[in-house]
């Protein structure tokens, strides 16, 4: 796929186990893996500016196709120059299909073999989400990596329900692939005439209408199957038979299952996934889970939990999670953590951060979300350093012992 | 007063009218005037980090004694090293007495000659605010400039009510002065033993208890009297008889009166205020009002409106206020303003800023509040440049014409 390349810098070996050091090149630059990708649902990571993400060490950012499809609209994003120009992020980007949001946020959704019919939670308007439609939307938005539409089911679903959703996801993947290839070959549909409101400068709509060539993008399939090993194997089988992918995602985890079951699922999937393609573990973002996943061969990660937790005062430290609002922080002038380079840790102290949260000052959620993000990005940086030095096994064991048992 | 000095760099003259260029030195550094001071109610300017204020050109920052008295408590602020150390702002600071908040935010307030009895809006607890108590609180918090307690009345109050409140404010000023001097002479009361919660590092409470010497601070009186010229004159008379002040504030304006009445009040007050002391106009922060006030001899300004308006999408531009949510911004890829150095204007475009507000992404309020603040700080910087060049009159007339009539 033009513009994409994955190089395994250090493959699995004795000192690093199944952990890999990689280099994922996209049309908007490269990402060294393992890497954590901040989630910018509406093409904005809640409360944070793009320069802060960059300073914190982020290289690749997510946005959500469902949210951008509803507002400002995928055609509007395209007319405004695509998601990179829109959000002013010139590095690699990925859009999730929005399958998860359709299943969890919409009202009155109806799932059929054709796709999902739902009403928007914003205005009740009816929308039809099919694999083909999702490809059109994600190709309009224009992120580097785009995700297939898959069928999401609740954590803890039965074997039969998991198999049925996994099999439908495979059929939808095939439809995504066909539509993705058609758009690559025939170009995107012209943008409908967008009404330029009075007082606004003209949009180059004629140019946009002519500009139907789809940008270079990579479509990632998603491995499903819950925590059933045979379903995961069947899912990977189907995916690898369906095409030659730039990368493969593993989805449907961290939805309430035991951590041991999640880790076992990594072990089931990893050996079956091609060694020369990046592996994106969707929705996993706790520090311990990241290290366990890296140890089992995963490369890319995303999760909204770290920023959401930060906004509510739960913060990562090397000694585990803590709550900034707890009373022992009232008089504590020490930094939140000694080692973190984020503004919350370098510019302020615990007593003041607690005060911001207690008085509901918006600087508090902002600083603590940035802290948690920085913490994960630093953890991935340290992970890559340890891999390079061939000491990932011992380093991560030590890191996890401290994180899990505190001081 | 030790550590304070006001130098008039350029006094009123033919080319600049009654506008002045000054240099106000405090124990935490100097401020070139005219200057706008961002308001950090809880020792945090809503949503903004201190380094952003500094980058935007802020030199002096406000905090509110009432809010800090309630949370985390004035003694706690003192025990944590004072408000500068607490908020990590090492430049000049000012605390408002909180009189305005007591009168507007509290429940069941009762005003007597002794002071104000009120119940906290947070927990209903009963508090007693007297001129003496307010001095103790503000001396614990430790800002460079502290304000007297005055009696606030609603905008549009009768002549008699205005006179009565003005006269009481003068009597309270005298009580503030006596207590302020007593604290300077005898030292502050030792901080009561603050319970250090389990798990927190010890506070140097012994040191704090011994450390009763009050820091160098300046007490500013507040001119009251509504829009009645004779009451304003009487207020200034009383204030100047009551002591030798470092600076004088003008309060009770921008509370609903006609702009012309406000501007006339500046004209009444200015000639009577000592030329060698800074004049702080409280609560005025619209661009046109700032220039009109500078032209009439005012030096220092504060107002929460610019940041509050920004959080709701109303933004200052050289062509007047505008609303970022308006539909013509949907497709507008131009910067919010061409000339502003703030991140909203230099890093993003109108279409994206509108999208942030429409989707309620917290980056929107944050960027637009910082924009409005930057706009006022830049306006004051340009004002000082114009004063230095002796072209304030012509420059401000041109600026105001564009701002008031738009493009």
CA distance B352 to B245: 49
pLDDT value at residue B198: 77
Strands (E), B141-236: 145-147, 218-220, 222-223
Would you say the C-alpha torsion A91, A97, A100, A101 has a positive or negative sign?
positive
Q: Please state which architecture CATH assigns to domain B35-302.
A: Alpha-Beta Barrel (3.20)
CA proximity to B18, closest of B376, B291, B228: B291
- The answer to whether the CB atoms of B331 and A194 lie below 8 A apart is yes
ipTM above 0.90, yes or no: yes
SS3 A181: helix
Q: Which residues of A are catalytic?
A: 96, 302
> Chain B contacts of A48, Cβ < 8 Å?
363
For chain B, 407 residues long, give each residue's pLDDT as a single digit of tens: 679 999 988 776 767 889 999 999 999 999 999 999 999 999 999 999 999 999 999 999 999 999 999 999 999 999 999 999 999 999 999 999 988 888 887 778 899 999 999 998 889 899 999 999 999 999 999 999 999 999 998 888 999 999 999 999 999 999 999 999 999 999 999 888 777 777 777 776 556 666 789 999 999 999 999 999 999 999 999 999 999 999 999 999 999 999 999 999 999 999 999 999 999 999 999 999 999 999 999 999 999 999 999 999 999 999 999 999 999 999 999 999 999 999 999 999 999 999 999 999 999 999 999 999 999 999 999 999 999 999 999 999 999 999 999 75
Q: Among A195-209, A211-225, B4-18, B233-247, whose mean pLDDT is lowest?
A: A195-209
∠ Cα B112 B117 B123 (to 5°): 165
CA distances from A266 to A23, A226, A247, A392 (A): 21, 11, 16, 18
Q: Are strands B39-40 and B314-317 parallel, antiparallel or unpaired?
A: unpaired
Residue A113, classified by CB atoms within 10 Å of its CB into exposed (0-12), middle (13-18) or buried (19+), is exposed
Over 80: is that where the pLDDT of A178 sits?
A: yes
What are the phi and psi torsion angles at A37 (to 5°)? -110, 115
Query: Which residue pairs, CB below 8 angstroms and at least 24 apart, start in B11-15?
Result: B11/B275, B12/B275, B12/B297, B13/B390, B15/B390, B15/B391, B15/B392, B15/B393
Question: Is residue B114 annotated as part of the catalytic site, yes or no?
Answer: no
Question: Is residue B96 annotated as part of the catalytic site, yes or no?
Answer: yes
CA distance A301 to A283: 7
Interface test with A, best of B362, B371, B406 (most A CBs within 10 A): B362
- The answer to whether the CB atoms of B366 and A361 lie below 8 A apart is no
CA distance B342 to B375: 8
Which residue in B87, B198, B328 is closest to A199 by CB distance? B328
On whether any CB of chain A is under 8 Å from the CB of B351, the answer is yes
Over 80: is that where the pLDDT of A1 sits?
A: no
- The answer to whether the CB atoms of A71 and B203 lie below 8 A apart is no
CA distance A208 to A194: 10
pLDDT tens for each residue of A250-295: 999 999 999 999 999 999 999 999 999 999 999 999 999 999 999 9
pLDDT tens for each residue of B84-111: 999 999 999 999 998 888 888 777 889 9
On whether any CB of chain A is under 8 Å from the CB of B317, the answer is no
Q: Where in chain A is the domain with CATH 3.20.20.105?
A: 35-302
Give the tokens for residue B375: 């706009």
Q: Are strands A5-10 and A21-26 parallel, antiparallel or unpaired?
A: antiparallel
């Amino acid at each position: 796929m033009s513009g994409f390349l994955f190089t395994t810098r250090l493959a699995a070996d004795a000192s690093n186990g199944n952990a890999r050091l990689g280099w994922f090149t996209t049309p908007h630059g490269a990402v060294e893996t393992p890497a954590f990708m901040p989630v910018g649902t509406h093409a904005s990571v809640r409360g944070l500016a793009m320069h802060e993400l960059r300073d914190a060490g982020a290289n690749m950012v997510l946005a959500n196709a469902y949210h951008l499809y509803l507002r400002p609209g995928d055609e509007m994003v395209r007319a405004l120059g695509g998601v990179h120009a829109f959000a002013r992020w010139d590095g690699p980007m990925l859009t999730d299909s929005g399958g998860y949001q359709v299943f969890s946020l919409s009202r009155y959704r109806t799932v059929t073999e054709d796709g999902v019919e739902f009403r928007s939670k914003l205005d009740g308007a009816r929308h039809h989400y099919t694999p083909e439609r999702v490809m059109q939307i994600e190709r309009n938005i224009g992120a580097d990596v785009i995700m297939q539409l898959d069928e999401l089911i609740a954590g803890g679903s039965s074997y039969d329900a998991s198999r049925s959703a996994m099999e439908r996801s495979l059929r939808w993947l095939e439809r995504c692939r066909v539509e993705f290839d058609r758009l690559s070959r025939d170009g995107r549909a012209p943008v409908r005439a967008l009404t330029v409101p009075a007082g606004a400068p003209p949009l180059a709509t004629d140019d946009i209408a002519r500009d139907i060539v789809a940008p270079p993008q990579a479509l990632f399939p998603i491995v499903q199957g819950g925590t059933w090993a045979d379903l995961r194997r069947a899912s990977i089988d189907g995916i690898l038979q369906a095409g030659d992918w730039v990368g493969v995602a593993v989805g449907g985890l961290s939805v309430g299952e035991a951590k041991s079951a999640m880790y076992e699922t990594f072990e089931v999937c990893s050996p079956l996934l091609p060694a020369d393609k990046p592996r994106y573990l969707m929705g996993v973002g706790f520090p311990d889970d990241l290290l366990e996943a890296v140890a089992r061969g995963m490369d890319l990660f995303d999760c909204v939990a770290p920023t959401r937790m930060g906004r509510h005062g739960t913060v990562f430290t090397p000694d585990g999670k803590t709550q900034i609002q707890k009373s022992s922080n009232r008089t504590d002038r020490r930094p939140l953590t000694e080692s973190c380079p984020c503004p919350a840790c370098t510019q302020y102290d615990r007593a003041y951060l607690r005060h911001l949260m207690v008085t509901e000052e918006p600087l508090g959620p902002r600083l603590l979300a940035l802290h948690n993000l920085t913490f994960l990005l630093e953890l991935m940086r340290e992970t890559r350093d340890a891999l390079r030095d061939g000491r990932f096994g011992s380093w991560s064991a030590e890191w996890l012992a401290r994180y899990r048992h505190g001081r």
